[in-house]
Structure 1
Amino acid sequence: MPAPAKSVPHAPRASISVIVPSYNAARFIGEALDSILAQTLQPEQIIVVDDGSSDGTAEVVLRHNDRRIQYIRTEHAGVASARNVGLDAARCEYISFLDADDRWRPIFLEMMHAFLSDDPTAASVFGNFVRFQHPSGELLGDQFRSYPEIKRPKLLEGAPYAHGRIPREKAFSALVACSDIPAYTQVMMFRRSMIEHLRFEPTLSLGEDTNFVLKAYLAGGVIFTDVVLADVRRHDANATRHPDEMVIHDLNGLKALAPHVTRESDLRAYRDRLIRAHIDAAVYQARHGRVRAGLRTYRETFSVPGSRWRKLKGSMRMALCLPRGLASPNPTN
């Protein structure tokens, strides 16, 4: 096993807390920590939250002999709870998360920090990443292809190296409407003063990151860049190894967001996305043989205020995937 990386000699430091939640990731977490220690701008605090691992996670972490690394072991409670433990322990001005099986490019912290330092109205900034297949290393494409709406000209405001700066009054409504909501914490940095009251929802087994990030988008402006700044590993133990199922978890994350969306300008976009999420989840369930569950989810759509046209289109999608005899679902039953 190679020796752990040491931090870049003479690299400057900034008031950044990096939170690394980990569960049975001993085979990967060394690379994650090495990528943090290789940053051209070094963090002041690195918090590893071991979510009750039963492998050699602790040994790998402790081999990285750096006083900035704070190792916290907890009972296994899920990634949302682990991230919350990290947030409680964070003491720096800016906060980033890195999953234990992923890794950053060396300029990640420097670029994210520069954007937030230059714009005190921004609560968060996010970049691009590529997925790669483990162990082959095959590249699976960059993430910005999943939300092409983000390059619409009305969002461009000329930030160096960035595709845009979105002011607070537009951030949530613009980003919740994207095909795939940009809510990948491993390529994000947050201004602690604007999100310190937020926590991940521990009742969500998945979709907790989307829920948290959308709450952050309500808190302040957002900056984004399409520069690839991270490598996200796809492997046999990924929580999201069945990506089609994410429509169910995304719906749960959006439903849990309801108490936080209060501005009228955000409510329309939120409700529109909630309708779409219900239909997507209902169609997925019906196509995978869970017809009754799909119909229940479909009928919930009609309790959401919003576009009749979108509901009509959703009804047509739903009808196409139902068995013969159920092709005209009645939302009133």
Structure 2
Amino acid sequence: MHSTQDRLPVSIIIANYNYARFLRNAIDSALSQGHGDVEVIVVDDASTDESADVIASYGSRIKACIRPENGGHGAAFNTGFAASRGAIVLFLDADDYLYPNAVSEIVARWDGEVAQMQFRLHIVDERQRVKDVFPPPEVPFDSGDVTPQLMRRARYQTTVTSGLAFALSALQNIMPVPEQEFRQGADGYLVTLAPLYGRVKSIDTCLGAYRMHGGNHSVFAEKLGQRARWRVEHDLHRLQALADQAVDVGLAVRADANLRDPVHLEERLASICVDSRRHPVAEDSRLSLAAAGAAASMEMNVSLRRRAMLAAWFLSVGLLPQRMAQAVLSWKLVASSRPAVLARLSRTIRYVTG
């Protein structure tokens, strides 16, 4: 006999732009799921490489959505969602891939109260060699009703696109993604709003792989200031979307929510420290951001040692002379910039403070 769970239809929406070299791996992983009712939708966002040929080679095994013009992450999500029929929807970036048991594990844990399910991913390189886990095992996911965290600091511990699954019922309340504001980072919009419509459930095992390579939007170490500015602006868009949506469910977001979020404050401090002239928030100062970051660090759901170390890092970036502050900043945010002795120390500290 089959349970109702076994018959839950699942949609995997693969968003692709110029990732032909990875795309087949992503599609194959979606088609190889053990769950009985999975549709695979591939959205190509007007790629200029060989992506169209890769997609065409699968014929009717997938549902292809070819966009005539490039619209970005949010537009690709909207196109795929409009074509989907699943009660559970996964968005998979084309440079990542799922393990064969991913959907079965998600469906087995699903219930009617879930708006979003999240799971860890192996970090792999271009040749699929496992390098680490994301989020790190020592950082606990936030689960259950996460609206108190959202209302207070506009963030909770979640993951990236390919480690997420959403209830259709939640997505119907928040789609379409605003395409201009979330041309990149559409997953940030989804994870911020979906929990307003149900519970977050977490799986601590790795059900897929998050590929790190030179083309990732999240990897441009040589452009630290640019990355920080984008993330600050992205968070401000997320906060506005959250404030607007919260009204519909009778909640109110703190106006200073971002100033209680150490992840946001880290990027905001990086932005002003690296390139203050282009920093997007005129009233900020290094010292004020450092003080806010230290205070926010002490409220994190991690070990006391880890909280204290992060608070000390914030204060050092805020108080040290500019050049020294930039060095300390880059050592934390860009692993490749660390001196060898500091890199070894960082690895040791990670496990000691986990």
Normalising by structure 2, report the TM-score: 0.70
Aligned partners of 1:95 and 1:190 also within 8 Å = yes
| 1:320 aligned partner | 320
Aligned partners of 1:286 and 1:321 also within 8 Å = no
Q: C-alpha offsets along residues 254-280 of structure 1, whole Å, 9 cap, x if unaligned?
A: 211324234797735971556645642
Q: Distance in 2 between the 1:205 and 1:286 partners?
A: 23
| 2:236 aligned partner | 255
Q: Distance in 2 between the 1:297 and 1:249 partners?
A: 15
CA apart distance, 1:76: 0.9
Mapping 1:1-333, distance limit 5 Å: 14-116=8-110, 119-135=111-127, 137-145=128-136, 148-150=139-141, 165-167=143-145, 169-170=147-148, 172=150, 178=156, 181-198=157-174, 199-202=176-179, 203-242=181-220, 246-256=227-237, 257-261=239-243, 262=246, 267-268=253-254, 271-272=257-258, 276=262, 279-288=265-274, 290-294=275-279, 296=281, 299=284, 310=295, 317-320=317-320, 322=322
User: 1 or 2, which has the higher strand percentage?
Assistant: 1
Q: C-alpha offsets along residues 113-157 of structure 1, whole Å, 9 cap, x if unaligned?
A: 2222xx21110101110111113x33221113177143xxxx7xx
Q: Distance in 1 between the 2:195 and 2:256 partners?
A: 12
Aligned partners of 2:10 and 2:89 also within 8 Å = yes
Change (3 A) 1:176 1:140: farther
User: What secondary structure does 2:136 align onto?
Assistant: helix
The amino acid across from 1:318 in the alignment is: G
Change (3 A) 1:308 1:278: closer
The amino acid across from 2:169 in the alignment is: S
Aligned partners of 1:201 and 1:212 also within 8 Å = no
Q: C-alpha offsets along residues 178-229 of structure 1, whole Å, 9 cap, x if unaligned?
A: 5xx4231211111101221323332234333222211112221000011110
- Name the Cα RMSD after superposition: 3.7
The amino acid across from 2:119 in the alignment is: G
The amino acid across from 2:16 in the alignment is: S
Q: Distance in 2 between the 1:128 and 1:249 partners?
A: 24
Change (3 A) 1:225 1:278: closer
Aligned partners of 2:12 and 2:89 also within 8 Å = yes
Q: C-alpha offsets along residues 21-52 of structure 1, whole Å, 9 cap, x if unaligned?
A: 11111111111111111111144422111100
| 1:331 aligned partner | none
The amino acid across from 1:320 in the alignment is: L
Q: Distance in 2 between the 1:43 and 1:51 partners?
A: 26
The amino acid across from 1:267 in the alignment is: V
Q: C-alpha offsets along residues 58-81 of structure 1, whole Å, 9 cap, x if unaligned?
A: 211121233443333331111221
The amino acid across from 1:140 in the alignment is: K
Q: Distance in 1 between the 2:73 and 2:24 partners?
A: 18
Normalising by structure 1, report the TM-score: 0.74
Report the identity percentage.
Answer: 22
Q: Distance in 1 between the 2:76 and 2:195 partners?
A: 21
User: What secondary structure does 2:59 align onto?
Assistant: coil
| 2:335 aligned partner | none
With 43-52 and 254-263 compared, the bigger mean Cα shift is at 254-263
| Structure 1: unaligned runs, 5 residues or longer | 1-11, 156-164, 325-333
| 1:162 aligned partner | none
